[in-house]
């Protein structure tokens, strides 16, 4: 790991004696340098010197005879840093107060264009694209949320495609569906594609995006059931996929077939009133390493074992109408999804807050690789947590976050009595939101009794009175581990009590 000092300052003294200082924020990842350059007025500060020195060869040669080669190198380094700094700014080339007319040509060299309709007009977009002179357009972002002609949007996007764009981010909400131009589907240089809003995806019969590695789709519309799967199939090296969709996008059978996929995020949200539709999500991603799911639970099917899975996050928020209609499947689907994730090393899960419709079963799956479990517990899902602990023999860290928002039925099983039902490797246990309820006390007592090498137990309560009561109650419970340190905290306050 290389440690860098992220501070630098570039001072330019222009012919009109105005001083320009660039101080990028700390998130810009460049090494420390300090450059101060004085350019004499006699040079004339030619704009062409900044853009294309071949067009001003005579002045350039004259300048080189009067200065050292290191000065030449320093100038171009300084111009590089200035251009780098400007690339982090929104594209407002005609309104930057700190840039004089002689500095504005720098904007034409920026390999990034970020265009928003709340700051520029469609006429300005045409002007910016016409003046852009960078050989490669690395990043093109178009955020348009006001009425606009489709022909304008098509021309702007087509221009970006012709500049060998590498990252394309389109956020369109013009009051009607905008069909993504077919030129996007044939872009050989595209590495990152992000689409959101009122965009309709209708891929051509034959196409390929050979360089695309990252794909983000946020609540767009698909022309047919095959539109999404066709897009995925045309990305031979896709590694990172994020899909946010609702039940109005015209897809009932969602297929993700990407052999190279390493990261997958799916968010499903219900928008319709009344009886919600059910659908299947089929996933073929044999080398998947990171999986994240949020939203309404549907029939998620993995077509091949996730042998390379490292991290998984599951956050189920199922609509009440869906549970009422499909209650036969709900409990079973929670456990079915968990079984598919049993190779994960790190697992964070909220299995939902609905009534105990069905307990399901994790068996015979074992979570042999699981070393850290973050579990959001409600009154209705204690049985899911307890089932997980039995099949995670190598668990080292257990974190519980309690969320008793609904007064639902308590789904609780008495902790098993006997060795082998809790990981012998557990060293850390955190419980956030502890309220001294009977089943909560029983659970902590069980952890203290069975965890053999437990080092840290941190209990978080809501107020000072609870802190004193909890500390008194839990300190009398026997602990299997002689090195166990019990800590009681008040929410996020640093004040601790140690026993």
Reply yes or no on whether the pLDDT at 287 is more than 70: yes
Residue 471 lies in a domain: yes
Residue 440 lies in a domain: yes
Q: What is the span of the domain harbouring residue 14?
A: 8-104
pLDDT of residue 130: 79
**Strands of 203-287, DSSP E:** 214-218, 221-222, 240-246, 253-257, 263-269, 280-284
Predicted confidence band at 393 (pLDDT cuts at 50, 70, 90)?
very high
Which of these three, 104, 134, 163, is where a domain ends? Answer: 104
Residue 77 lies in a domain: yes
Q: How many residues does the chain have?
A: 499
Angle between helices 150-162 and 122-131 (to 10 degrees): 20
Residue 58 lies in a domain: yes
Residue 215 lies in a domain: no
The alpha helices in 43-149, defined as continuous H runs, are: 47-51, 57-66, 69-86, 122-131
Q: Which residue has the tokens 């004696």?
A: 17
Tell me: the pLDDT tens digits for 318-333? 666 555 555 556 777 8
Which of these three, 58, 89, 104, is where a domain ends? Answer: 104
Please write down the long-range contacts of 384-387, taking CB distance under 8 Å and 24 or more positions apart: 384/334, 384/335, 384/338, 384/349, 384/351, 386/413, 386/415, 387/335, 387/361, 387/362
Residue 263 lies in a domain: no
Residue 378 lies in a domain: no
The alpha helices in 289-360, defined as continuous H runs, are: 320-325, 327-340
Buried b (16+ CB within 10 A) or exposed e, 371-387: bbbbbbbbbbbbbbbbb
pLDDT of residue 469: 85
Residue 461 lies in a domain: yes
Rounded Cα–Cα distance for residues 119 and 91 (Å): 9
pLDDT of residue 496: 42
Rounded Cα–Cα distance for residues 293 and 349 (Å): 9
Report yes or no: 322 and 276 within 8 Å, Cβ to Cβ. yes
| Sheet containing 19-22: order of strands | 19-22, 8-13, 33-38
Q: What is the pTM for the complete model shown?
A: 0.77
Residue 350 tokens, joined: 């909220």
Tell me: the pLDDT tens digits for 108-155? 777 888 888 766 677 778 877 877 767 788 899 998 888 888 898 999
**Number of domains, the chain:** 2
pLDDT of residue 269: 81
Tell me: the pLDDT tens digits for 394-449? 999 999 998 766 666 677 777 776 666 788 999 999 999 998 889 999 999 999 99
Which of these three, 54, 73, 104, is where a domain ends? Answer: 104
């Amino acid at each position: 790991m290389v440690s860098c000092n992220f501070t630098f300052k570039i001072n330019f003294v222009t012919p009109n004696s105005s001083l320009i200082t660039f101080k990028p924020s700390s998130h810009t990842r460049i090494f420390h340098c300090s450059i101060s350059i004085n350019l004499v007025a006699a040079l004339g500060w030619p704009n062409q010197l900044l853009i294309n020195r071949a067009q001003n060869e005579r002045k350039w040669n004259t300048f080189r005879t009067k200065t050292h080669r290191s000065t030449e190198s320093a100038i171009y380094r300084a111009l590089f840093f200035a251009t780098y700094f400007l690339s982090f700014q929104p594209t407002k080339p005609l309104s930057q107060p700190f840039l004089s007319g002689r500095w504005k040509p720098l904007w034409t060299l920026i390999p990034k264009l970020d265009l928003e309709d709340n700051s520029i007009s469609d006429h300005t977009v045409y002007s910016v694209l016409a003046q852009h002179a960078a050989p490669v357009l690395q990043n093109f972002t178009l955020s348009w949320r006001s009425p606009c002609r489709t022909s304008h949007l098509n021309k702007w996007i087509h221009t970006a495609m012709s500049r060998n764009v590498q990252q394309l981010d389109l956020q369109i909400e013009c009051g009607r569906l905008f069909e993504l131009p077919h030129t996007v589907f044939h872009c050989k240089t595209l590495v990152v594609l992000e689409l959101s809003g009122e965009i309709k995806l209708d891929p051509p019969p034959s196409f390929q995006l050979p360089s695309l590695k990252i794909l983000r789709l946020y609540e767009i519309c698909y022309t047919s059931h095959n539109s999404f799967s066709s897009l995925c199939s045309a990305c031979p090296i896709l590694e990172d996929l994020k899909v946010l969709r609702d039940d109005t996008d015209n897809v009932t059978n969602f297929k993700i077939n990407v052999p190279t996929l390493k990261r997958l995020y799916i968010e499903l949200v219900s928008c319709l009133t009344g009886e919600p539709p059910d659908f299947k999500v089929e996933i073929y991603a044999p080398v998947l390493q990171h999986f994240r799911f949020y939203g309404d639970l549907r029939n998620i099917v993995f077509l091949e074992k996730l042998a390379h899975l490292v991290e998984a996050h599951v956050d189920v928020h199922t609509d009440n109408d869906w549970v009422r209609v499909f209650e036969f499947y709900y409990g079973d689907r929670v456990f079915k999804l968990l079984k598919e994730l049993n190779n994960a090393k790190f697992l964070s899960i909220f299995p939902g807050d609905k009534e105990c419709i069905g307990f399901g079963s994790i068996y015979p799956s074992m979570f042999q690789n699981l070393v850290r479990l973050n579990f959001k517990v409600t009154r209705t899902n204690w049985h899911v947590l307890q089932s997980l602990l039995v099949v995670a023999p190598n668990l080292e860290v257990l974190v519980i976050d309690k969320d008793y928002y609904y007064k639902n039925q308590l789904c609780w099983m008495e902790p098993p009595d006997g060795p082998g039902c809790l990981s012998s490797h557990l060293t850390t246990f955190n419980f956030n939101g502890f309220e001294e309820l009977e089943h909560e006390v029983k659970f902590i007592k069980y952890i203290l009794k069975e965890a053999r090498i437990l080092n840290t137990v941190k209990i978080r309560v809501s107020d000072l009175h609870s802190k004193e009561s909890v500390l008194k109650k839990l300190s009398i419970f026997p602990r299997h581990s002689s090195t166990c340190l019990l800590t009681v905290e008040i929410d996020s306050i640093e004040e601790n009590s140690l026993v």
